[in-house]
Structure 1
């Protein structure tokens, strides 16, 4: 059964009764005025009269302060738990904040108001939710996911260039901000690579370095090594055209000789119908052997060897090797040499015909070469 009077009400009535008694009023009128029995009056007087009332008041105030401090401590502990478990990083967009608030409510039993206060989320923004997604945006998101599945190491820039080359998105506004926003909303953000340091060494500060001015003007090549699942080594002979960034050849073998290099270059000339003006490479034994130098002098091809210990001078080949390893070799397990040849040809076709290139304004090497040929037909003739 609930108590009829609170301590504060009892103290107030005791003081009122004592004042009435001091004024000379009889006890009968006092207890009638207070609406209590005489036994209750003396019980109240014993418990709350005189100095006991002041002590009781101070006790109640201390209890209230203690309860307030306990609540503050409990809230602080709960806030620390939420921040350590739910909000481990910095939220830069509304949706992660909404997910964090919901997680704090479900995992810790926090109220919506408290969770929003701790996580810095506006309550009206929490209830607003995401806007409805239109058909065009849904289709665009689906295409971005498809690109990410097919090319896991591509970023949003290459994905945008790839979509711009598709007839389905011709005339649709696919600006950089929109693609980047949707790419991140889909959770497809790719970690950026480390910025490369400027190299220094022999020839690093050379100003008049040979630069390609047209297709097959400068052809660079280099070797790249990998292993099969059984631990045997494979060497890839990579040849690229520096002007159009076209991959002319990716040939895997167990070993190479100078004669093999000559045969590969002759196959490239037969396929393209163009003899390169310069070939750029390092000073490896396969590239400085008599067979290759004799072939160059016979075919009228000039050599452009880089300085020893300066791989940055053959930057186009080194960059191509890095992309080949990152986009193909790292994600594939090769059991045999035949499988390595298939994977090399597959990525070469993707690189030349599907993969947008940043230095070519988002065009593929094949398309860039084709466009250059169409624009310079008279000069070629």
Structure 2
């Protein structure tokens, strides 16, 4: 009998689904790097899943119908969306409507006047045209002298806009000015943030924004734990303070609930759980995954949450006690007492659920898990000096190692 995997089954299944969703376009190593395991580990999970699916098919005599139904529903929803966008092609893409003017009145400005003078100076002379247009000859000649520099600047802006669009597209349109600027700096570009902001505004490139929404159902019977964080969402060391919360996602006509555990120092998602219920097992599974991701040694960690019934339950308290985790809770009805988790949910919903509705639970699970791995491994975080949580932890651990060696 083989050694039991330290990774929960939920995590392994989602990692396998993420690899399969790539359709062979990404290697085991590439997907495994986002998930946080080795390529060989992911390969073995996929192989085990294939073997289990083969055994299940041989017992039933035919493939599972549930998977086919979910995939069919997803394809129908996608087909409907494409049909709506087909007529205008530019739906929500900034393209002009058929028959509308491309240029607005007044767009030509002074540049248009200087261009006009250049085009007709041989026929009418510079002095006469300048007098008719009400501009000075000296201004025209200054503009003419700076033509080369202006052309070079426009070419540089064009190249920079192309890079900005590539970054914006690669991160699925979620990055705003600050993260795009950080990404450019990460690639070695020395560029002013105001220039990036100007070009993004000029070309209609912007990140996503989402309004806040409260989802907590407070538990009033169980005695609350004390507030050990007191809105201080900072930590000097990893595994000093964690926080967690629950949110929900609409899937067709039902709901998918998601619980997460974050390390306050690195903002990394240590554990998560998704289910179609909101019982205490949801937050317990997320906490157990977080403990496993830290190797099981989490004695003394502070776990902060709101006063939802799941976090005030006896079952959750017993799990915390078994790992030596100190529970902490904010006040009822105050989102600021768990602001870090609330901010995390804002990012998740803004970047995965903006103006869309998931058609199946499988689709929702896959895209949420894909975002969680992207968030940990690649997404730049403003509170971490625009490093990803994984990069921040690596630097933090290297600094600790150098300190001990010194």
TM range (shorter): 0.5 to 0.7
- Aligned runs of 1:125-140 on 2, under 5 Å? 130-133=150-153, 138-140=158-160
Distance 2:176 2:319 in 1: 42
Name 2:175's counterpart in structure 1.
154
Match of 1:175 among 192, 213, 232: 192
Distance 1:147 1:208 in 2: 34
Distance 1:96 1:281 in 2: 57
Q: Note the alpha carbon deviations across 1:248-295, whole angstroms, 9 max, x for none.
A: 234332113223322221122112224270111111111111111111
Name 1:227's counterpart in structure 2.
250
Name 1:292's counterpart in structure 2.
316
Distance 1:101 1:231 in 2: 60
Name the SS for the 1:224 alignment partner: strand
Long gaps (5+) in structure 1: 1-84, 103-111, 196-202
Name 2:4's counterpart in structure 1.
none
Name 1:372's counterpart in structure 2.
396
CA distance 1:343–1:217, shift in 2 (3 Å)? same
- RMSD across aligned positions (CA): 3.9
Name 1:310's counterpart in structure 2.
334
Return the TM-score normalized by structure 1.
0.59
Q: Note the alpha carbon deviations across 1:102-146, whole angstroms, 9 max, x for none.
A: 9xxxxxxxxx9899779xxx8778887752358765543322111
Return the TM-score normalized by structure 2.
0.56
- Aligned runs of 1:1-381 on 2, under 5 Å? 86=105, 98=111, 130-133=150-153, 138-151=158-171, 152-166=173-187, 169=188, 172-189=189-206, 209=232, 211-228=234-251, 230-273=252-295, 274-275=297-298, 277-377=301-401
CA distance 1:331–1:210, shift in 2 (3 Å)? closer
Distance 2:335 2:109 in 1: 44
Contact kept in structure 2, 1:244 and 1:365, CA below 8 Å = yes
Long gaps (5+) in structure 2: 1-103, 116-128, 213-225
Deviation of 1:365 after TM superposition, in Å, equals: 1.0
CA distance 1:348–1:332, shift in 2 (3 Å)? farther
Distance 1:150 1:116 in 2: 46
Distance 1:261 1:307 in 2: 19
Name the SS for the 1:269 alignment partner: helix
Q: Note the alpha carbon deviations across 1:169-213, whole angstroms, 9 max, x for none.
A: 3xx423324433443444425588899xxxxxxx99x97857433
Name 2:17's counterpart in structure 1.
none
Distance 1:246 1:176 in 2: 26
Distance 1:356 1:133 in 2: 29
CA distance 1:188–1:260, shift in 2 (3 Å)? closer
Higher relative contact order (CA 8 A, sep 6+): 2
Q: How many residues align?
A: 266
Distance 1:210 1:146 in 2: 33
